């Protein structure tokens, strides 16, 4: 077959994508958790 999928590569790719997603969302989530909801929604 032209493409071969190995379980180890799939697991490594999934783990890397999961780590990137968690790391990329950690800073905005911690920043958002420090804001009071009333202040954040004041201009809405």
Domain boundaries, the chain: 20-44
The whole-number pLDDT of residue 23 equals: 94
CA 30 to chain centre: 13
The whole-number pLDDT of residue 21 equals: 97
Buried b (16+ CB within 10 A) or exposed e, 15-31: eeeeeeeeeeeeeeeee
Question: How does pLDDT run across 1-44, given as a tens digit for each residue?
Answer: 688 889 999 999 999 999 999 999 999 999 989 999 888 888 87
The whole-number pLDDT of residue 39 equals: 86
Q: State how far the Cα of 44 lies from the Cα of 40, in Å rounded to an integer.
A: 8
CA atoms within 13 A on the CB side of 36: 3
The whole-number pLDDT of residue 4 equals: 87
The whole-number pLDDT of residue 3 equals: 84
pTM (2 decimals)? 0.62
């Amino acid at each position: 077959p032209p493409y071969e999928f190995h379980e180890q590569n799939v697991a490594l790719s999934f783990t890397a994508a999961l780590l990137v997603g968690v790391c990329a969302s950690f800073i905005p989530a911690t920043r958002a958790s420090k804001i009071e909801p009333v202040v954040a929604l004041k201009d809405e």
